[in-house]
Amino acid sequence: MSAKQVAVIVGSLRKESFNRKVANALIELAPQEMSAEIPAIGQLPHYNQDDDDNGRPAAEWTTFRQRMAGFDAVLFVTPEYNRSVPGVLKNAIDVGSRPYGKSIWSGKPAAVISVSPGAIGGFGANHHLRQSLVFLDMPCLQQPEAYIGGAAKMFNDQGKLTSDDTRVFGNSCTRLTSGLTPTLVRRSSSAALDARASISRLKPSVENRGRSFPISAGINGPKSSPISTRID
């Protein structure tokens, strides 16, 4: 199987960004089946719908949209600004989401890491971002969650993770990326489409509430055991 191409979108433009350092550390630790890189977003002009409607999108938007279309999945690594995501990240998301019906995000698996020097690890930004991902139809890795706090103490003078943090971080990254990879496999297999169809046939109803239903297609491939879904 060829390596899955993962875009690591970093929500900070700061030269000494903790988020960028985390993103770089994660790229170094990525498993062989993933090839990850950081597409730039700081050069994107503010999104203005008129430019798409008039058929004159900014050249930077077009380049970004074309580049993003080539990735299999997206890992967001973002700071928290005023309990939400930085404008530069939201702008990149908006640019990629239009023109209407041509979103480059649609269907791409995603994972979110938030990083902050603060104690709560950018929880607010992490979940604000997830709200957008729902609308963008990006299946998002649920576990492990990654709210990295105390980021100012994680790096040495060379911008590398300190040894203790490397160990802890390495474990977390392995769990995170190994979670993202099955998400990719699921998404790309036709079995997943069958499973989605099965789910959509299960109409929520009073008599079905609380019951579990097997999904006939093995969502992780033909050899995996069937999983079930539950209506609540």
Ligand X SMILES: Cc1cc2nc3c(=O)[nH]c(=O)nc-3n(C[C@H](O)[C@H](O)[C@H](O)COP(=O)(O)O)c2cc1C
List interacting residues with ligand X (CB under 6 A).
12, 14, 17-19, 79-83, 116-118, 122
CA distances from 125 to 89, 166, 168, 175, 190 (A): 11, 24, 23, 21, 33
DSSP three-state, residue 223: coil
* Neighbouring residues of 58: CB distance < 8 A, sequence distance ≥ 6: 44, 45, 51
Comparing C-alpha atoms, which of 188, 193, 230 is closest to residue 212? Answer: 230
User: At its nearest, how many Å lie between ligand X and the CB of residue 20?
Assistant: 6
- Smallest gap from Cβ 228 to ligand X, in A, equals 39
Minimum distance from residue 46 beta carbon to ligand X (Å): 17
Residue nearer to ligand X on the CB measure, 118 or 182: 118
Contact 30, 22 (CB under 8 A): no
Q: To the nearest 10°, the Cα dihedral for 165, 170, 172, 178?
A: 170
Work out how close the CB of 36 gets to ligand X at its nearest, in angstroms, rounded to a whole number: 17
Element (H, E) at 95: helix 87-97
Contacts 24+ apart (CB under 8 A), 83-86: 83/124, 83/125, 83/128, 84/124, 84/125, 84/128, 85/11, 85/125, 85/128, 85/129, 86/11, 86/12, 86/125
CA neighbours within 13 Å on the CB side: how many for 223? 0
Minimum CB distance to ligand X smaller for 31 or for 117 = 117
Q: Which is nearer to ligand X, 13 or 58 (CB)?
A: 13
Compute the least distance from the CB of residue 167 to ligand X, in Å: 22
Q: How far is the CB of 83 from ligand X (least distance, A)?
A: 5
Closer of 64 and 81 to ligand X (Cβ): 81
Complex with ligand X: residue 14 or 209, whichever CB lies closer? 14
Which is nearer to ligand X, 14 or 102 (by Cβ)? 14
